[in-house]
Amino acid sequence: MLKLSITKRFFAGGLVMITAFVVAIGIALIATINVNNAFQTFVQKDLALLNNLQRMYTSGIQGGAATRHIILVPEAQTTVETYKETVNEFTQANEAAIKVAPPAMAKELQALLSDLNELDKVRLAAQGFSVKGQKNDAIETLEDETPLWVNLRDKIADMINSQSAKTAATQQQLKAFTHKRIQTTVIIAVVALVLSGGLLFFLIVQHIKNPLQDLTMVAKAIGRGDLSKKVAWTRSDEMGELGETINNTIERLKKLVQSDEERAKAQENIINFLNLLSSASEGDLTVKAEVTSDVFGSVGDAFNLMLEGLTELVEKVRVTSEKVSSESKNILSVLQKIEGGSEAQSLEVKRAREAVETATDSATDITRKASQAQNISDAVVRAVEKGNHLVLESTEGMQFIRATVQSINKRMKYLSERLLEIGTVSQLITDVSSKTDLLAINAAIEAAKAGEHGKGFVVIAEEIRNLAEKASKSTKQIGEIISAIQVESTGVTKYLEEETNYVEIETKLSADTTTAFREIDSSIKDTVLVISEIHASADTQRELTARVVSSMEEVQRITREMLNLVKDVSTISGSLSDTSNSLISSVERFKLSETEKLTA
């Protein structure tokens, strides 16, 4: 059996107790640091990467919306600046994502910049055509833009989905890791405290209290003259030496004590020894036994050696307890700093959660506004379709009017030609009338020459001349009417030609309007598609921010648990300090010589 003095045993026990407690505190600190590092990694990498991917997705959608708005309103300089900002936002988010992304995803993110550059070239080309007034070319270029954006969008969406799943898994791992750390730390701290207290109690009871009680009982029996009692145990420390000495003394007393005088002397020595032992048991370790030449000399010498050992032990216990108390205070100070850091971390998490909740509110507002914009766009699409239908009907009406006017114009030309023919016939009748009148005059002259036989012929000639004059007047009136009709016909023909030109212009304008409506319809449909994507993106962002809020709440809960753990460990440390103080108070009842105190 290993022989150790009481002092060494108490010193070893104190070392074990301090070591166990320091190990428990160290494990608690390591657990706190590990949880904090895990939380920092979760916030700085996983959530940051997810947020930057979402920024890329949103800025890409906004860039498409800005491009389409520029095509519709080329003079909107503010929208041009907005487009440039979306490109810069995409680039910055991509660079930030590359810094925190795993190597494989970082390569994919780097490749996205090439896709963005190609998409940007096409969008800028479409914007350039629109600014120059070449809307058809802009729309054709925009048709090339759509598949490029869809390809880029799908890649980003896949990354977002992958990172969302990873973030959720990391959150669960962090939760399980923290719970395990907290549970392990609490168990170790409790076990360390129980073992330390148990060890201290065992040392005090086994090595001081019980041996002293046994020694006192045997000494009292000797004082009564009862030499049948002996110390029943054997030990390898100072108490064991004192017990062995008392047993040897009892044996020697049995042999040497013969007379009443010797018995009285021995009893007196025993009473003195009991008084010394009683004083020692009450805590006065300054007493010394007189070393005589008789049988009690060895007992006194052993008693003095025991007192010296106890004095050294008590002083060692006091010093060790003071060290434990001091270390407990230092540990308590460290834990208080950790507690302050945990509270600060909890506050930062709370602020981050509030910021994310604000982002959630913004995403909700964006979703609401996107829904309103989509409803308005749907109404505009319906209005454009109705306007396009009306323009088509107007174009068809113009085409009918054009055909009618052209038909009337043809008929008026035909009428003019017939009037010219009537004029020719009327002129012929006029010529015939003139010749008939001349012939009637000649006939009248010839009838006058004939005398009485030509009177009847004169009457006929006069009638013929009158008819010729009437025919001449009628043809003259017909000529005037024809001339008036020709003048009016010429005016109508000219007016119809002007109307024909106007109808052709209006027909062309209607055709241009139809084309414009088709372009507007196509652009609005693209805008509706972009708004739908913004709506979906806002929904996704709202869902992601909701997950982030949940993660923040979970991290905040974990932080509170860590804070409670630190407080529990602080309480344990305080309890150890109180125990050390109690131990110091216990050993202070022992009275030591000034020399022993100075030596210690």
Please state the separation of Cα 347 from the chain's center in Å.
Answer: 18
d(CA 534, CA 362): 13
| Range picked from 67-71, 175-179, 399-403 for highest mean pLDDT | 67-71
Residue 96: count other Cβ atoms within 10 Å of its Cβ: 18
> Strand runs (DSSP E) across 171-293, as ranges?
none
- Upper half-sphere CA count for residue 447 (Cβ side, 13 Å): 15
- Upper half-sphere CA count for residue 46 (Cβ side, 13 Å): 24
Please give the tally of structural domains in the chain.
1
Domain region containing 228: 206-317
Q: Is residue 529 part of a domain?
A: no
| Residue-wise DSSP of 292-337 | -SSHHHHHHHHHHHHHHHHHHHHHHHHHHHHHHHHHHHHHHHHHHH
The more confident residue out of 497 and 348 is 497
Beta carbons of 247 and 219 less than 8 angstroms apart:
no
3-state SS, residue 284: strand
pLDDT for residue 561 is more than 70: no
Give the pLDDT mean for 235-264.
68
Q: Is residue 249 part of a domain?
A: yes
d(CA 100, CA 485): 93
Q: Is residue 20 part of a domain?
A: no
Predicted model pTM: 0.45
In tens, the pLDDT along 294-314 reads 656 666 677 677 767 667 766
The answer for residues whose C-beta is within 8 angstroms of residue 412's C-beta and 6 or more apart is: 489, 492, 493, 496
Q: Is residue 260 part of a domain?
A: yes
pLDDT for residue 168 is more than 80: no
Query: Which of 1-15, 450-464, 521-535, 544-558 is predicted with the least confidence, judged by mean pLDDT?
Result: 1-15
Q: At 91, is the pLDDT very low, low, confident or very high (cuts 50, 70, 90)?
A: very high
- Residue 427: predicted pLDDT: 72
Quickly tell me which residue has 């009748």 as its tokens: 429
Beta carbons of 40 and 559 less than 8 angstroms apart:
no
Q: Is residue 70 part of a domain?
A: no
Q: Is residue 588 part of a domain?
A: no
Q: Is residue 258 part of a domain?
A: yes
Q: At 379, is the pLDDT very low, low, confident or very high (cuts 50, 70, 90)?
A: low
In tens, the pLDDT along 31-68 reads 666 655 555 555 557 777 888 888 888 888 888 888 88
The answer for residues whose C-beta is within 8 angstroms of residue 39's C-beta and 6 or more apart is: 174, 345, 555, 558, 559
Beta carbons of 141 and 133 less than 8 angstroms apart:
no
- Residue 88: predicted pLDDT: 92
Measured between alpha carbons, how far apart are the two ends of the chain, in Å?
Answer: 29
The more confident residue out of 2 and 271 is 271
Give the ranges where 101-132 is alpha helix by DSSP (H). Answer: 103-131
Give the pLDDT mean for 496-501.
71
Q: Which residues pair with 591 in a beta bridge?
A: 284
Q: Is residue 174 part of a domain?
A: no
pLDDT for residue 243 is more than 70: yes
